[in-house]
Structure 1
Amino acid sequence: MYLLLAVMLWLLAAGDAQSKCKRNNRADYPFTPLSDGGSAQFWFGRINLASSAIQPAGTLLGSAVATAAEASGINGDTLLWTCDLADAGQIDEVFSTNGDDRVGGFSEIGTQDGLAGFYRTWFPGVAIRLTHLRSGKVFSRYYQSSRLDTYDIDQAGKKILIRAKHLSPIKAEVARVSDISPGTGTSNWCANTPDNQRWAAVAYTCTQPNGYLMLRGPGYNRASGDMDDDGEDHAYRYLFFGAANGIAFGMRMGATLSILPSCVVQNVTPEVVFPTISETELDLGQTRQVEFTLSFRCDEGTNSKPSYAAGTDDNQTAFGLQVSPGALAAAQLLGYVNQDRGVRYLLSDQYGTDPTVAKGVGISLSDADTHQQMQWLSSSVSGQWLPQSLPSGRNAGWYRLPAPGQQAGRTSPAPSSASVGQYTVEKRLTATLQKLPGKTVTAGRVFSTAYVIVKVQ
């Protein structure tokens, strides 16, 4: 009995030893996507810091989502790692901030402003938080993991194939923080600081990533020298980097910073409810219209900088209404997105995917005062000095607010520690529920979401 038991244990141990994950070759999976200049980029576009009266510390400034497939040198189908079929259930995605670098993820600086998980960036006064969307876990300096159960299977070779498209998307959020000190880190690869006193925007030229996404599995771990353990501090341990294991994510050249008087959304009509309309009425060209109002709080200006400039040109403040991801996908499928990425009709969030949602109907937007037709925004990303041109102007869905001198409802300046006065401007818009040109109307409910965006261009 004892001999048999020993043999069985030896066989089990031998089976475990043969089970192993490994990295793909350097030709097909190069080091580039892990390098500083090859990271998947977070496209925030223009980030503007207005007065602290309308934009106090703790204010969220923007969000973006990036995937591993967007890193340099690879695509969604690039094979990154292979594991044995026996490794299923033992493979993890591992992630952390760039915990050793001064502006990559060494210092969590948002806590004093009520912001958990926000780390210093190269932009003074701007912090970033990364979230592993599949698990919902927020990145920190200390390694964390999440089980990976999405992959391809090679039945003939009895292998698990892990491609870039199988890794979780990473969400990034930026917020204003009160800590504008240069900070410290165990490394400081971007020792310079941006000139943020100019009128023009300053590009995020620091190439240091803000976070990393790696892999751990049987035979591909700390013992093999390929990956660090959960809970270890990235500030002092980064085995994964020497093993070329992972994908970098960062803000490099995907964001610009300016410090200009601007506006923020103060109030919106929370719900726009249309009266019921029948298929017959829609087919006859009838519509339903509802007017609603947007309210913005704007900077009066300071001695050094005048009041905000309204318009859609560089350094001017514009607004737009952005459609939901589901509505955008449907609009693209139906051909309602123009060459500047403006969206002609707002469709239901689940148009074409939920059988209870009406088809053949959409919502158009117009100026309630001038009756001019308007486009919906497909994206809130805008700005100058970026490596790729971004759509701007009316055809993209950006519109000017009333200029300071044109606003009849101007209020008294509000007191603030920044000694900057503010006033309110309002914009009246009209939403029209109508039949989509050339489409057949199918009865159902209409439920659409739009987000009010105001941003320096």
Structure 2
Amino acid sequence: MKQRLFTAVLVMVGSGLSASCWATCYRITGTTTNSTSAYYTEPGKGTAAAWDGMPDQAGSTGSLPTVVNINNTTFQPNGTLLATGIVPMVGNQTYNPEQILFRCQAADVNSLYEYYATNGDSTYGGNVEVGTSYGLPQAYQTYVPGMALRATNMMTGEYYSRYWKARQLTNLDKDSQGWLLVKAKNFSNTKVELFRLSTSAGGWGAADTGIYPQSQPATYMAFKGPGFSSGLSVGADSNSQYDGWYSAWPGGVNLYHRLYIRRSASCVVNNVTPLVVFSTLSVSQLQAGAQSQKPISISFSCQTGGPASTGVTAFTSGVAANQTAMGILVNPANAATATSLGLTSGAGVTWLLSDNYGTDPSVATGVGIQITRTNGTVLNLLRTLSGAVAGGNAAGWYPLLDDATGGQVVNGVTTYSKTLNATLKAIPGQTITAGKVNATAQIIIQVQ
């Protein structure tokens, strides 16, 4: 936790001194209709709302999976990527992209910056770099033994480090008075990677599991402009330099109470049918109920006994906590389209739609793909890997060993195979148009 010392000073100001002599940027926390005010928010130029910035416990994990399983180093060698996701600029609340955070005078155009760094004064939030020896520079220790975090600024492509980096804010919107509007959309998204690294000692015990308990953020994103975060400079150590925290720092990454850690024996995908080609069907055939069905073959290996399962809890197929399930993950854009068409059940979607469905005139509409078990049961598909824990069938998770056939066992690792069916057909209630269908999805095996 960052600590500050405050000195109270009484300053007498003459009536002829304007506020603009003291600062030329203003923090916008609500709608002001007075057009003569420095805090004016012009209708149609953006939104305004209260925001707190990045106090402890604030931040987000974005699309990072909610559950991460830490395995032994035989199954997960050092350097294994455990999870990855994109985190939008989120602080103590989620922003509207058009939300105005700061209003600055036109003369400040070359003085406005996004600064970013790990949480350098936190032992488990960005102080201890542990990845360099494994070829993963700027991966930092977390509270979980064996797990390190690395963050990348998606605009600059640079890794976060405990030493501040900066990106000039350009191409900002303006209001009709010529003021610059620094909006939430002007700040970078952050890519987060979690790695298996024994060099991350952590603060938990080696066998501890559960919800991530340490409240300190992993990264921060700060605004620097006239009147805000003036003490920040490129290369300064965030362990000791945190001017502007927390109200001038709009966002950051924080695992606190947003990530569940498991230590269970599990499985890995060996092979999946890479390409499924359907028979060509005409509009009239589809309208008459014609379908094209093709198999999807999946091979995977599981830690079913020793020595493969040393140091982790026993493998169990299922959808409850600590059990291993399988799901089919739909691309975010396709999931959003399916949701907009009402093609949902529970937290999952029921149809796999073509990429660019509804936006590209060359793509067929009114048709989609359903995935079924060999007994004909239609599977829900995963919209995301983040969100509710152990969401079950409603989210798109199913016991991994459903319909699976076991094979060879070597050193406690059993190889399995299973088949699902993909069926191209008309979507009830939708108008069919001719075109191509090109859909993509991922087979996900994950401890719940």
SS in 1 for 2:340: helix
Percent identity over the alignment is 33
Q: 2:410 aligns with which of 410, 413, 418?
A: 413
In structure 2, stretches of 5+ residues that fail to align are 1-19, 32-47
**Is residue 443 from structure 1 mapped to residue 447 from structure 2 by the alignment?**
no
Question: 2:131–2:197: 8 Å Cα contact kept in structure 1?
Answer: yes
Whether 1:291 aligns to 2:298 is no
Query: Superposed, which structure 2 residues align to 1:36-115 within 5 Å?
Result: 36-42=56-62, 43-68=64-89, 70-73=90-93, 75-76=95-96, 78-88=99-109, 90-115=111-136
Q: CA 1:391–1:148 in 2, change beyond 3 Å: closer, same or farther?
A: farther
Alignment of 1:205-216 (within 5 A): 205-216=213-224
The corresponding residue for 1:258 is: 262
CA distance in 2, matches of 1:407, 1:315: 19
| CA displacement at 1:430 relative to structure 2 | 0.7
Pick from 181, 192, 201: which aligns with 2:201?
181
Structure 1 residue ranges without an equivalent (≥5): 1-15, 183-192, 383-388, 415-420
Residues 109-188 of structure 1: pairs in structure 2 closer than 5 A: 109-149=130-170, 151-156=172-177, 158-182=178-202
How do 1:384-403 residues align onto structure 2 when only pairs under 5 Å count? 389-390=388-389, 392-402=391-401
The residue type equivalent to 1:394 in the other structure is: N
1:73-130 deviation per Cα after TM superposition (whole angstroms, max 9, x unaligned): 5632553211113433543221111122211112221233332332111111111121
Question: For residues 336 and 275 of structure 1, what CA distance do their matches in structure 2 show?
Answer: 24
Aligned equivalents of 1:351, 1:89: Cα separation in 2? 42
**Which residue number in structure 1 is paired with residue 230 of structure 2?**
226
Q: Which amino acid aligns with 2:58?
A: G
Of 327, 335, 355, which residue of structure 2 is paired with 1:328?
335
Q: Distance in 2 between matches of 1:402 and 1:204?
A: 29
Residue 354 (structure 1) shift: 2.0
| Cross-structure match for 2:6 | none
Distance in 1, Cα, partners of 2:75 & 2:299 = 13
The two structures have a TM-score, normalised by structure 1, of: 0.81
Separation in structure 2 between the aligned mates of residue 108 and residue 353 of structure 1, nearest angstrom: 45
Q: Tell whether the 8 Å contact from 1:343 to 1:377 is kept in structure 2 after alignment.
A: yes
Q: Counterparts of 2:243 and 2:113 in 1: how far apart (Å)? A: 16
2:381 equivalent in structure 1: 376
Equivalent residue, structure 1, for 2:4? none
Distance in 2 separating the partners of 1:98 and 1:296: 39
Judged with a 3 Å threshold, the aligned counterparts in structure 2 of structure 1 residues 140 and 326 are, in CA distance, closer, same or farther, namely same
What displacement does 1:155 show? 1.1
Q: What one-letter code is carried by the residue in structure 1 that aligns with 2:115?
A: V
- TM-score when scaled to structure 2? 0.83
Partner of 2:53, secondary structure, is helix
1:143-183 CA distances to partner (integer Å, 9 max, x unpaired)? 22223236442213x2122233442222222121121424x
Tell me how far 1:18 sits from its aligned partner. Answer: 9.5
Q: Which amino acid aligns with 1:324?
A: N
> Is contact 1:197-1:258 (8 Å) kept?
no
The 1:316–1:25 alpha-carbon spacing in structure 2 relative to 1, beyond 3 Å, is: closer
Q: Residues 280 and 232 from structure 1, CA distance in 2 versus in 1: closer, same or farther, beyond 3 angstroms? A: same
- Give aligned pairs, total: 408
**Aligned positions of 1:327-366 closer than 5 A:** 327-338=334-345, 340-366=346-372
Provide closer, same or farther for how the CA distance between residues 407 and 378 of structure 1 changes in structure 2, counting only shifts above 3 A.
closer
Aligned to 2:323: 316
In structure 2, relative to structure 1, the CA distance for the partners of 1:409 and 1:41 (3 Å cut) is closer
Change in 2 beyond 3 A, CA 1:360/1:235: same
Equivalent-residue separation in structure 2 for 1:392 and 1:81 (angstroms)? 39
Q: Distance in 1 between matches of 2:166 and 2:359?
A: 33
Q: In the alignment, is the contact (CA less than 8 A) between 1:108 and 1:120 conserved in 2? A: yes
Partner of 2:279: 275
Q: Which residue is equivalent to 1:300?
A: 304
- Opposite residue 143 of structure 2, the aligned amino acid is W
Offset of residue 25 of structure 1 = 6.1
Could you say if the C-alpha distance between residues 320 and 63 of structure 1 is closer, same or farther in structure 2, counting changes exceeding 3 Å? Answer: same
Alpha-carbon distance change, 317 to 25 in structure 1, aligned in 2, over 3 angstroms: closer
RMSD, aligned α-carbons = 2.8
Amino acid across the alignment from 1:208: Q
Deviations 1:379-416 (A, max 9, x none): 1236xxxxxx446112221111227xx964422324xx
Partner SS, residue 37 of structure 1 = coil
- Any conservation in 2 of the 1:301–1:307 contact (CA below 8 Å)? yes
SS in 2 for 1:117: coil
Residue range with higher mean Cα deviation, 284-293 or 41-50: 41-50
Pair 1:430–1:413, CA change in 2 (3 A): same
Aligned to 1:5: none
